[in-house]
Every structure is written in C-alpha cells, then in structure tokens.
Amino acid sequence: MPVVMDGVRMARSLTRIAHEIVERNRGVEDLALIGIRARGVPLAERLAAEIEQIAGVRVPTGALDITLYRDDLRRPAVGPQPVLRRTDVPFSIDDRLILLVDDVLYTGRTIRAAFDALIDFGRPRAIQLVALIDRGHRELPIRADYVGRNIPTSRQQSVQVRLQEIDGRDEVEVEG
Amino acid sequence: MTTVATGLATRDLLGIRDLSAPEIELILQTAFAMKEIGTRPIKKVPTLRGRTIVNLFFENSTRTRMSFELAEKRLSADTLGMTTAGSSVSKGETLLDTARTLEAMSPDMIVIRHGSSGAPHQLARICRASIVNAGDGTNEHPTQALLDAFTMLEHKGRLAGLKVAIVGDLLHSRVFRSNVLLLTKMGAEVRACAPPTLVPPGLRAMGLHVTSSLDEAVSGADVVMMLRLQLERMQGLFLPSMREYFTLFGLTPRVLERAASDVIVMHPGPMNRGVEIDSEVADGPWSVILDQVANGVAVRMAVLYLLAGGEGEGGDK
C-alpha cells in the first residue's frame, strides 16, 4: 500500500507548521504544546525543537491521554481495550495558548475528548489544533489550524503514522 | 519487563488466584496512570458516567470503603452504600435475598465485603453485575494485595526478586493470602513469620520460607509487611499475652537494623501500636503506610475501569 509521506517530507511539514505557528501567533509568548498519546507526543516534542530553532525559546510540552474521556467505553470493543497511559502536563494551562497536537485527524471524536480532558486542567486562553494528517470524514464540527498534509481516504482505509521515537522510522502509509 | 495483558479475562475480581501475571501487570500500569488524576485541580474523569456501583459492606471498614467510594466518585460513577446496620440484613435477610433485591435495581457493579469466605463468589454466580471482592472472611482481599504491590513497585521499581517478610497473624489474614498469591506470581521471595499457633498449614508446600524468628525473617529484607492481630477472629487461646507478642514479634528500630538499608515498612491498617508495631517504626522514615492508603484509590480506580470496559473473552455473563 502506498507510502504517502516519507521522513524527508514529514520533516519539511513540521518545519513549515512551526513557522506558521510562530507567524500566526506573532511569537511564542505563553505558548505550550500538548501531544495526544501516543504519536502526538513525539510530534509535539519535534515541533518544540523546531520552534526553538526559529524563535530561540523552548516552549513547554506535555502529554495527554484521552482514554478516560472517550465516548465509546460502553460500545462493544472492536479491539483490545486501549492501555491507559499517564497524562503529564507539568505546567499551568491557565491563560496560555495551547497547541493540541495529534498525528491523524479523522472523525474529530478524539479531539472532542481532548478538549474535555484539557479543560479539567484549567482555562486556556485559546486552543489551536495541529494534525500531521487530515484524512477527512469528520463527525463533529472540528477543524485543524495547522495541517501537515490533507489525504483523501475512504472510511474502509486506515492511515498509519510511524515515528522514529515509537516505530523506528518516519513514514505515513495508507492501508486497505 | 514482564508482558502486559490487553484486558482482564473476567468481569469479576474475586481474588488474586484468578489473575495471571500479565493481568496483574496491566492493573498496576493502569493504576500508575490513574494516580496522576489525584494530583489535578479537578480530581475527576467522566469515564464511568451513568454507571451504578453498589458498595455492600457487611463488615466494619473505614479505609477500604472510603477508598472504593473515592475511586468510584473520581471515575464519575453513581454510588450507593449499604452497611449492615440500618438495612434489611439486621432484620434477618439472607445474603442471596439481599443480592437478588439489589440485582432487580440493575447496578453495573457490586463491591462486597463479607465476613464469610466465598460470599463474593456466591454473588457472582447469581448477579449480572460485575462483582469486586473487598475482603471475604479469611479468604482474599485482592485490591489490598494490588495496592501493596503498587507501593512496592513505586519504591523499589520491581517485584521480581524482592525479599518480602510478612509478619503477624497469618492464620486469619486475607491480606496475607492475597499478598502471597500475588507476590509469588510476580516472582518475589516471601518469608512468612508468625508464632506457630498463627501459621496456616501448607505454606512450605507453596514455596514460602516459614519461620517463628522475627530476626531471621527481617534479615536482608527489602520489604517488611506487618499484619494486624485480628483479635475479633480469635476464638481461643492463640497467644499468652499481648506483651509477650510484642516482645517476640513487634517491629522495632532495633529489629529493622537487620533488614536491607533501604527497607520499607508496610501495614494494611488499622495498626495496633505497641502490639505488632512500635510507634517509632510506624511514624519513622521506613514507613510507607500512608502511601499505601493513597495508592489504594488509584489501584481501585484501575480495577473498576478495567472491569467496566473489558468485555473479556473469558466472561460468561
């Protein structure tokens, strides 16, 4: 099945997104990056490194596990129950601009859950959404502010994002 | 690192006996994530919203009952409590009739503590709800063993190979049984220490080191777990006197000098100061007794969450 993004293109996309973030927010003051587990976390770390290159400031990063906020715990499981990982937001999100980072934006339900999770930590000034891949098929009125690449897919397909930190290599593949 | 299960195979938690090592690992890892919730400004997640959990406590309990209630509330479940006093039980209703009555109100889970061993198992056979054993007679107290293991893991980073001395009233202790089952499954080395009258039969066959010498049990130990003398369960003469018991089996700083230099001291509570444990030890730098209480909430959240979500293949309900 086709690889729709390789390591080089992924790196370029992240650099571009970092520039867009700095440009749109006129700097990085009060910015914080929060990655959604699992693959949003390394992406947030990489964006923080890119932003540091551009603006010379290291913005704080955190990790959010949205498992406990999902809306499908009651439904018959299609696969094994997701393993709960630790949420780690070691700073106050009050009055900050939070950049929520995920690998694939699909139905929007994960992001809905992430909003609920985030609001339990405080009241951010605003939340912006970063997605490496937007594959369409939204079920909720949610859109990304920064997108690495839009990839048209059918619902039967699946999009696999692989990252060096977790999977040993950087690539995005469409399967099915 | 040990393998981790992807879910629990059963819908009930009746005892450590029924859990595999990968399932225990899954519960402990999930508890690690749950613990963070207790540090947030809003200590609540919506996971079990709309679920009803009944807490049936037929025996006195403070920390276990409160710990379960707090865990349930932090997961947003609706909870109902029933204690023996002031309920139909005091009018002579049997356990099964109480259970059938509750079942008619269709709770999703029932947490039960009962003075008779096997009461939760009986409930599990007739109820659609998931049953969680919060201590049954002298049989098991699985969530206590899980929170003890979590506390050891937090302080020692591992369970396999740990030298754990468990001292006290082994005969009447469900905490002891559950801990032995868990620790041996996870590869720890358990030493059991008690007066001969309080040693249950068959321990050596389970591969435990059994001794009546406190010095021997504590020597080189990474963990010393003291158990409460359960005077309310002793019908007969098991001990000459409390004072003699403390002299021979009470944990003092002097005895602890024989243990590993970074030894931790545990006690499931409630403590009898001056009977099984010296105040200087209970309040000393070795003591992780209050950590155990805090960890109890996280471990119970993990158990409730995993039982609620897992449509385990082995579940026959």
Q: For residue range A119-155, list pLDDT tens digits in order.
A: 999 999 999 999 999 999 999 999 999 999 999 999 9
> Which residue has tokens 């498992």?
A67
ipTM reported for the complex, 2 dp: 0.83
Q: Cα(B60)–Cα(B194) distance, rounded to whole angstroms?
A: 25
pLDDT band, residue B85 (cuts 50/70/90):
low
Q: CATH code at B81?
A: 3.40.50.1370
Residue B23 included in any domain:
yes
Residues contacting B183, CB < 8 A, separation 6+: B145, B149, B159, B162, B164, B190
B76 and B181 in a single domain? The answer is no
Residue B221 included in any domain:
yes
Q: Cα(A174)–Cα(A176) distance, rounded to whole angstroms?
A: 7
Interface check A24 vs B, CB under 8 A:
no
A87 and B310 in contact by Cβ < 8 A? no
Q: Cα(A147)–Cα(A16) distance, rounded to whole angstroms?
A: 10
Q: Decide if pLDDT at B313 tops 80.
A: no
B148 and B275 in a single domain? The answer is yes
Nearest to B33 among A77, A85, A120 (CB): A85
Residue B239 included in any domain:
yes
In which domain, by residue range, is B146 found? 142-293
Residue B200 included in any domain:
yes
Kindly report, residue by residue over B256-312, the tens digit of the pLDDT: 999 999 999 999 989 999 999 999 999 999 999 999 999 999 999 999 999 987 443
Measured between beta carbons, which residues in chain A are less than 8 angstroms from residue B44? 120
Q: Is residue B71 within a helix (H) or strand (E), and if so which, with residue range?
A: helix B63-74
Measured between beta carbons, which residues in chain B are less than 8 angstroms from residue A38? none
Compute the average pLDDT of residues B10-37: 96
Measured between beta carbons, which residues in chain B are less than 8 angstroms from residue A117? 45
Q: Cα(B201)–Cα(A93) distance, rounded to whole angstroms?
A: 57
Residue B57 included in any domain:
yes
Chain A: closest CA distance from residue B264 (Å): 25
Q: How many inter-chain contacts (A to B, CB under 8 Å) are there?
A: 55
Sheet with A61-64: list strands edge to edge.
A61-64, A31-36, A97-105, A126-134, A146-150
CA distances (Å), origin B277, targets B142, B173, B265: 23, 16, 10
Interface check A120 vs B, CB under 8 A:
yes
Q: Cα(B101)–Cα(B107) distance, rounded to whole angstroms?
A: 11
Kindly report, residue by residue over A95-111, the tens digit of the pLDDT: 999 999 999 999 999 99
Model pLDDT, residue B240: 83
Measured between beta carbons, which residues in chain A are less than 8 angstroms from residue B39? none
Model pLDDT, residue B103: 86
CA distances (Å), origin B191, targets A167, B194, B290: 43, 10, 23
CA distances (Å), origin B14, targets A58, B117, B195, B232: 50, 11, 29, 24
Measured between beta carbons, which residues in chain A are less than 8 angstroms from residue B40? 120-121
B131 and B190 in a single domain? The answer is no
Residues contacting A111, CB < 8 A, separation 6+: A100, A102, A105, A129, A140, A142
Q: What are phi and psi of A34, to 5 degrees?
A: -125, 120
Mean pLDDT taken over chain B: 91
B162 and B287 in a single domain? The answer is yes
B74 and B152 in a single domain? The answer is no
Domains of chain A: 3-74+86-175 (3.40.50.2020)
Residue B62 included in any domain:
yes
Model pLDDT, residue B3: 84
Model pLDDT, residue B101: 87
Q: Decide if pLDDT at B91 tops 80.
A: no
Q: Decide if pLDDT at A162 tops 80.
A: yes
Q: Decide if pLDDT at B90 tops 70.
A: no
Chain B: closest CA distance from residue A21 (Å): 28
Q: What's the sign of the alpha-carbon dihedral B209, B211, B217, B223?
A: positive
Measured between its terminal Cα atoms, the distance across chain A in Å is 7
